[in-house]
Structure 1
Amino acid sequence: MMLFLHQSRFLTTVNYLRDLPKTMQPEVVFAGRSNAGKSLAINVLCNQKRLAFASKTPGRTQHINYFSVGPLSTPVAYLVDLPGYGYAKVPSAVKEHWETLLSKYLTTRAQIRSMILVMDARRPFTELDRCMIEWFGVTERPIHVLLTKCDKLSQLGRVNALRVAEKAAIAYQVAGLPSKMTIQLFSAVKRIGLSQVHMLLWHWLAPDSNVPADRGGNSPLLDASD
């Protein structure tokens, strides 16, 4: 199962909707606040050091980056790295372009199966994270939250961070937005929670899995404590 993502490679960078690849395979998007550890999470999940570029200046990734999963000639799926939000100091016109591009991509791209939303476990569910949930939640596709950098917390701190995040998620689900949200602790450095994400992505993306094509799957709620 883990080898499923290890055959991943950079495909293309997209700055306009017209440049989106003409592919029909399922896509999982990775979103998150700048400096939450999104690029590092993608690299660790795919067992590569520099698949997703982690800039020393957070927020510098300003495009939608596609990574193919599977054999070079016949990819089975795509991981999509979205620009980090909430950090980059860029002109307002550039930010408006990002927002328009992401909004249209997230709400109109039929191939999107689900979202991995990366949050710093020490600061989960910021205002911008909530905006992303509300933005993507209207598509009724599932969101899986990675509470990253949990290795920086004590055992009690991890329990508390998870409890706070679960409370926030319940509030959204009571409101019916999104249709499904799951949460887990994660550390790319200590590889905490790695197998859980592999299993979930397998359910969402593997061609032989029993995942319905329309909603991105009814994969079981994962145990959030690795």
Structure 2
Amino acid sequence: MQTQVTMSSRHYLSISHLSAASLFAERSTELEPKLTLGENESTNGLREHNACIVSTIMLSAAFLEATINEFFSDCAEDPYAKVATLPTCKLMAKLWSRGIPKTASYSILEKYEIALDLNEKQPFDKSSHPYQDVKLLVELRNALIHYEPETIQLPTGMLEEQRELHKFEKKFRGKFELNSLTGAGNAFYPDKMLGSGCARWAVKSAVALTDTFYSRFSLKPMYDHVRAQFSV
């Protein structure tokens, strides 16, 4: 007589995304002061620096989407203890099984807003941090993934207030330290913008929004046990 034992496991990829994003942000911060633009010895380091920053931005956005997808999915499967006490748990499970808000028709922020609305929780303040910063983070991620080349004019002998600013310079200037490996001849986007300051800002903004979200439900975030390890 044979006995069959079924084992199941559940992996939360949001934690892996956050782990990688924080790791890349830390690495870009370590590299930036050690490198010199135009120096042969810095070539590989500059490649790694850029790769770390771009990866951080993409993974920070991926962390945001994985987190809210897991929140809905937890209602639909079993449900898991963390969300089982939610009065709308069954409703969220039913909507999720019907693809709401599972499909690409819903933006990352819309998914969070739907969860808050269904549970009659305080909505995000759309005019301030962290909502506004995450909105910019997703916009930057989309610009990198769906990149379209553009010619950026850098007029010389013109005061800053006289020149036309790139849309990202208008939106992002002052939010983080600029890439120290750039100078007057570099455009704000992507050169000056994509530095370690931007990488740290991306992770911080993503976690600030998910922290705010979980606090509305008086629940501990899924990543709470690794917060200190990831410096978030």
Q: TM class, shorter-chain normalised? A: under 0.3
Tell me which protein shows more helix as a share of its residues.
2
From the CA coordinates, give the structure whose radius of gyration is larger: 2
The answer to which structure has the higher strand fraction is 1
The one of the two structures with greater contact order (alpha-carbon pairs below 8 A, sep at least 6) is 2
Query: Normalized against structure 2, the TM-score is what?
Result: 0.25
- TM-score (normalizing by structure 1): 0.26
